[in-house]
Amino acid sequence: MTSADSHETRQVMIRLEKLTKHYPGQQRNAVDGLDLDINEGEIVVLVGPSGCGKTTTMKMINRIIEPTSGRIILNGEDVTRTDADQLRRRIGYVIQQTGLFPHMTIGENVATVPKLLGWDKSRTDARVDELLNMVNMDPEIFRHRYPKQLSGGQQQRIGVARALGGDPTVLLMDEPFGAIDPITRDRLQNEFLRVQSEVRKTIVFVTHDIDEAIKMGDRIAIFKEGSQLAQYDTPEQILTAPADDFVAEFIGRGASLKRLNLSYVGDIDPRPWPTVSVSTSIAEARETLRNAAESALIVVDEAGRPHSWVSPEELNRAGEGSSLKEIGQTPRAIVEPRATLSDALNELIAARYAVTLVVDDTGKLQGVVDIEQINDSIRSMRASAVTEARASLGGEP
């Protein structure tokens, strides 16, 4: 989720030049003259309809599939013809079916590449523990278990840990979360993004799920049949300025809603809302509400955290002796700055006063977000995307 401008300045880690694969007996090339640059430290997602050559492209990078022609350049070095086994030890590899070795313990699985690299036992053991901790699997519990004693989600985590074993610079992932239920998948994606923010690998990620691509990708390469690049750009750009009808159709109707996944509540200024403290008297609260345009008050506790919503009716019904602590309704729609606008929208649709409360890390009220603000932010995203798309067109002869 880096900003659109930062990838220009970074170094190219993987460069594919005129990469072509022709399978014997097939009429068309599965991948045909593909040129693609992948920058250091970014997640590039290859996405496209089934059979368009995503897997073939990815597997040519570590030469599990040997290219028919073209070149693969890894960190400036041409690796198209070098020793494939040596190359693969530098490239992490995660596949959908996990491919864990069933006869080896989790610890032995994760130690695979360190052992191939000839690390000594203490270094290997330390690395295994570090990686298991990184993917949230307690080494004490899981180190000596066998793959079949783990759930699908846990196996996939081990798959990721194993791929990171030799601390590779590049990670290839082919639909790693494809065979996992939606809730677990969401959790694994978040977890993986957290791991990536620590390890900063260059990642090639294959999926056919556009939502996953938008969520995971710093840049997305949308493929047509035969690995033809339809568009290669940031998720923001692809959603707001699809290059052609193919891309627009592939993204589907929900493009505007999907865009909401890319902006965060923290990116917009929350709107103020009439607020009183719990220690305020009922009379004072009535006075505040009378002078406000809004139809209810937010009551916050001593620490400034949302305590309740109070309506005019509730204030009128309350006796003079009672306190704001005892009346009103607990607020439900609350988001943090890190939540996406999509989360905020979800909350506010069901909320009583059509706003969602924004709180900071300590739970202190910052203000509210309403549907108008979300709408404005979609509009400005679209405008800037169009400007950017125009600018890139203008640069060509």
Partner 1 sequence: MSTQAPHLKTANQETGVAGSRGLSQYLVMPVVLGIALLALYVYVSLQELDSIEERSLNAARLTRAVWEHIQLTAVSTLLTLLIAIPLGILLTRPFTRRIRPYIVTVLTVLQAVPTIAILVLLAVAFLFLGFAAAIVGLVLYAIVPVLLNTMVGLEQVDDAVLEAGRGMGMSRTTVLQKIELPLAIPVMLAGIRTALVINVGTAALVTYINAGGLGDIIVAGLSTNRIVVQIVGAALTAILALLIDYIAGLIEDLLRPRGL
Q: Considering CB distances under 5 to 8 angstroms, the limit depending on partner class, which of partner 1, Mg ion, ligand ATP, none binds residue 97?
A: partner 1
Q: Rule CB under 6 A: is residue 26 a binding residue for ligand ATP? A: yes
Q: Rule CB under 6 A: is residue 9 a binding residue for ligand ATP? A: no
* DSSP label at residue 135: T
Token reading at 161: 């840990």
CA distance 320 to 92: 69
Report the candidate in 148, 246, 164 with the shortest Cα–Cα distance to residue 199.
Answer: 164
Among 6, 11, 18, 23, binds ligand ATP (CB under 6 A): 23
Residue whose CB is less far from Mg ion, 55 or 196: 55
Q: Rule CB under 8 A: is residue 102 a binding residue for partner 1? A: yes
- What is the chain's percent helix, strand, coil content, to nearest 5? 40, 20, 40
Which residues, 326 to 345, sit near partner 1 by CB under 8 A? none
Burial level of 343, CB count in 10 A (0-12/13-18/19+)?
A: middle
Q: Considering CB distances under 5 to 8 angstroms, the limit depending on partner class, which of Mg ion, ligand ATP, partner 1, none binds residue 170?
A: none
CA distance 187 to 157: 11
* Segment interacting with partner 1, rule: CB under 8 A, options 38-46, 87-95, 227-235, 335-343: 87-95
CA distance 37 to 218: 13
Among 29, 55, 124, 340, binds Mg ion (CB under 5 A): 55
Q: Considering CB distances under 5 to 8 angstroms, the limit depending on partner class, which of Mg ion, ligand ATP, partner 1, none binds residue 201?
A: none
* Segment interacting with partner 1, rule: CB under 8 A, options 33-41, 157-165, 179-187, 264-272: 157-165
For residue 146, the minimal CB distance to partner 1 (Å) is 3
CA distance 75 to 168: 12
Q: Rule CB under 8 A: is residue 89 a binding residue for partner 1? A: yes
Q: Rule CB under 8 A: is residue 116 a binding residue for partner 1? A: yes
x/- mask, ligand ATP, residues 51-90, rule CB under 6 A, reads xxxxxx----------------------------------
Number of C-alpha atoms within 13 angstroms, CB side, residue 175?
A: 15
CA distance 222 to 48: 5
Residue numbers at the binding site for Mg ion (CB under 5 A): 55
